[in-house]
């Protein structure tokens, strides 16, 4: 089962699961006008059942989980945007905190026993703006509503794991990835989608925080980690894999300005210019230490930032002339697994 399957990462995960031969139940809000990847690569290609509903519809969520009786649940449904969380703090906390409570409680009450991967974010850490990378045992925190809500989701996960799921034989983990880029992401207030929108509309792209660094990574990198972890959680030694896991990118994080320079060199179109400073707080420096995943899961990021940007541009360019991007997406997955 994949919650948030109409979203960007949930869509890519669903395509990969289908490619592996899984039968998938998707649970998500109905696709919006920004659901580019879902509409072009997932819709019409789903294996199993799709349900369009809210995480806060506890009765519906429970019915779907009971009917599906999933072996694994990947929980990705969320309000995922920092700036949007300032505009809608109550909705952000309802979705990102009570949504995960509803999911776990539905599992508990229905008596199903899936392995569960709760997808949070690198922004769950209390950000000290230091140069060192954050490890899984560093303090949680969050100044903005999005980060705080995801830190709360981590606490909810630990609570349910210790209070209920250990005794039920349910293995539960959280996964924290960096700033994910890739084909089909057209969300608002994200750098690469904003660039593509500016490209389509033939206008300049205003950059608010050119010096902010982020752990940029291609969407397939953390998803591969989620799949490896889910396999472990669902196995005979699954309890050994419970807890938080980082999945960060190759190399050092790049500032926004350097990332845009690379992107503009690939497309040949320079659009960025300095805009007004950010009017809400966002972290300036973010780094993830993925030593635990490397050493215990044998997971390694494969794509450098230039390759990640080229694959993103390739998907965007092909999608401009094709409404059937499923095969192209599967080809990227196959290339990633074969060559990296």
- pLDDT tens profile 98-130: 999 999 999 999 999 999 999 999 999 999 888
184, 37 Cβ separation under 8 angstroms: yes
Write down the pLDDT at residue 47. Answer: 76
| Confidence tier at 31 by pLDDT (50, 70, 90) | very high
Write down the pLDDT at residue 276. Answer: 58
State yes or no: pLDDT of 279 exceeds 90. no
pLDDT in tens, 137-149: 999 999 999 999 9
231 vs 131, which has greater pLDDT?
A: 231
Sequence spans of domains, the chain: 2-185+216-250+287-307+323-338
Comparing 87-96, 127-136, 320-329, which segment has the lowest mean pLDDT? Answer: 127-136
3-state secondary structure the chain: CEECCCCHHHHHHHHHHHHHCCCEEEEECCCCCCCHHHHHHHCCCCCEEEEECCCCCHHHHHHHHHHHCCCEEEECCCCCCHHHHHHCHHHHHHHHHHHHHHHHHHHHHHCCCCEEEEECCHHHECCCCCCCCECCCCCECCCCHHHHHHHHHHHHHHHHHHHHHHHHCCCEEEEEECEEECCCCCCCCCHHHHHHHHHHHCCCEEECCCCCEECEEECHHHHHHHHHHHHHHCCCCHHHHCEEEEECCCCCCEEHHHHHHHHHHHHCCCCEEECCCCCCCCCCCCCECCHHHHHHCCCCCCCCHHHHHHHHHHHHHHHCCCCCCHHHHHHHHHHHHHCC
| Confidence tier at 284 by pLDDT (50, 70, 90) | low
Write down the pLDDT at residue 250. Answer: 84
State yes or no: pLDDT of 288 exceeds 60. yes
Write down the pLDDT at residue 277. Answer: 56
51 vs 279, which has greater pLDDT?
A: 51
> What is 2-185+216-250+287-307+323-338's CATH number?
3.40.50.720
Write down the pLDDT at residue 286. Answer: 79
């Amino acid at each position: 089962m994949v919650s948030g399957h109409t979203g960007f990462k949930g869509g890519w995960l669903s395509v990969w699961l289908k490619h592996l031969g899984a039968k998938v139940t998707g649970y998500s809000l109905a696709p919006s006008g920004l659901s580019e990847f879902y509409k072009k690569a997932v819709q019409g290609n789903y294996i199993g059942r799709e349900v369009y509903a809210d995480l806060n519809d506890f009765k519906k969520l429970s019915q779907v989980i009971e009917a599906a009786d999933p072996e694994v649940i990947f929980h990705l449904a969320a309000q995922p945007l920092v700036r949007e969380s300032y505009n809608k703090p109550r909705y952000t906390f309802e979705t990102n905190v009570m949504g995960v409570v509803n999911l776990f409680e539905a599992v508990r009450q229905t008596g199903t026993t899936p392995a569960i991967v709760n997808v949070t974010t690198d922004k769950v850490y209390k950000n000290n703006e230091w140069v060192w990378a954050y490890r899984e045992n560093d303090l949680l925190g969050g100044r903005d509503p999005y980060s705080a809500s995801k830190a709360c989701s981590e606490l909810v996960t630990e609570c349910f794991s210790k209070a209920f799921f250990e005794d039920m034989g349910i293995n539960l983990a959280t996964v924290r990835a960096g700033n994910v880029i890739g084909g089909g992401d057209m969300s608002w207030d994200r750098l690469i989608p904003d660039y593509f929108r500016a490209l389509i509309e033939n206008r300049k792209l205003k950059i608010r925080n050119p010096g902010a660094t982020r752990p940029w990574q291609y969407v397939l990198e953390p998803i591969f980690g989620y799949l490896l972890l889910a396999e472990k959680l669902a196995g005979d030694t699954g309890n050994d894999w419970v807890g938080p896991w980082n999945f960060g990118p190759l190399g050092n994080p790049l500032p926004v300005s350097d990332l845009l320079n690379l992107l503009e060199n690939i497309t040949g179109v320079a659009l960025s210019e300095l805009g007004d400073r950010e009017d809400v707080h966002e972290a300036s420096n973010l780094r993830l230490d993925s030593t635990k995943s490397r050493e215990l899961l044998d997971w390694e990021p494969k794509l450098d930032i230039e390759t990640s940007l080229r694959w993103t541009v390739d998907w965007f360019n092909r999608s401009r002339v094709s409404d059937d991007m499923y095969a192209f997406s599967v080809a990227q997955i196959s290339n990633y697994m074969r060559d990296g």
